Copies of this chain bind each other. A is one copy, B any other.
Amino acid sequence: MNDFNFYSPTEFVFGRGRENECGKYVRKYGGTKVLLHYGGQSAKRSGLLDRVKASLEKNGIAYCELGGVQPNPRDTLVYKGISLARAEGVDFILAVGGGSVIDSSKAIAMGVPYDGDFWDFYSGKRAEKALPVGTVLTIAAAGSEGSGDSVITKEDGMLKRGTGSDVLRPRFSVMAPELTQTLPPFQTACGAADIMAHVFERYFTNTREVEITDRLCEAVLMTMLKETPRVIADPDNYEARANIMWAGTVAHTNVVGVGREQDWNSHGIEHELSALYDCAHGAGLAVIMPAWMEFVYKHDVMRFCQMATRVFGCSMDFAAPENTALAGIKAFRSFLHSIGLPINFTELGAKEEDIPLLVEKFGLGGGRTGGFVKLSSEDVAEIYRIAARASL
């Protein structure tokens, strides 16, 4: 097991109707003037935004608003948010939405006290200071409600880049599973793929002797296999929604990933798809992750056998372990397809002829990247090719 620090100070406020308490928690964590940051019309239409405002007002907290966060949140709106927050003297950012809104909020939170261009933090600089952020989560997916990470897309060139710092971890996150019940099946499935990918990025490691985090990873994955089909079939199933929502947080606070080298190539490879085609991140992951597995499994066949047998319930083929490894990958892809996700470029709306462009934007040049298997640009191209033509 590797040495590590684990720090997840966010207070999670989980359950029915708890969005009505968000004002209390803003006050508890020192906010007096809030920037209320959100996405499109759904938070307005559903009445969620009104409930949030009522809770702020009840607690004597002033606020200004900035809506319009898109999926794959843009730098352009972050700049607007920073200006607005400075002009209004905001001391707390409250994100009402999913991962995109939370990531945009974190970017604004870093940008406000920073003299330079906030994009510096997405170009290698680590944030030491940020306004406090709180969240009211509406999508179980990104895990941003409990993480110190943020991913923003630079509109000029559609560059998608990430950053991470403990100062970005939300002070509190309200998690009311009912809020996800209005989410259409496709977005729900995208969220599930994202949650599972967050676990797999940690699960595939060259670090030996990490049974505790192996088992915790498998626990989250098995939960997703059970609960996701239930919400796809019955979007109003509160219990399944609740299980998925907590699984999504556990998957990404890093409690299941400490002590081990992690991979994260599938996320990087996918980011170029969602940046180029503006597709959902989870949909892109459904196409990329099994293809990545097919490309790398020979690096550690037994680890894939462990996944196949422990998570997907495959029988171990002791005479030919590769068969078990491949059966596990196949089971994962079948699962993704069964919940309505694309599994190849055609279904995603991506084009095989764009692969050279995708590889170029991935920007590896002659280098290599990744924790489990270090990939070259040619490897990345091959993974895109496998993904392009995948079938059940």
Contact = CB atoms under 8 A, between A and B. Distances in A.
Interface of A: 1-16, 18, 177, 208-213, 215-216, 218-220, 222-223, 226-227, 239-240, 242-243, 246-247, 250, 255, 258-259
Contacts of A3: 14-16, 18
A222 B215 contact: yes
Nearest to A4: B14
A212 B220 contact: yes
Nearest to A146: B6
Contact of A220 (B18, B215, B246): B215
Contacts of A243: 1, 209-212
A212 B246 contact: yes
B7 A11 contact: yes
A9 B169 CA distance: 11
A173 B149 CA distance: 23
B14 A259 contact: yes
Given A212-B250, A222-B215, A14 B9 contact: no
A222 B310 CA distance: 12
Given A216-B219, A219-B219, A259-B246, A239 B6 contact: no
Contact of A212 (B1, B5, B247): B247
Nearest to A226: B211
Given A215-B219, A227-B211, A242 B1 contact: yes
Contacts of A213: 246
Nearest to A218: B219
A9 B5 CA distance: 12
B1 A5 contact: no
Contacts of A223: 211-212, 215
Contacts of A220: 212, 215-216
Nearest to A251: B212
A245 to B, nearest CB: 9
A83 B18 CA distance: 43
A30 B372 CA distance: 39
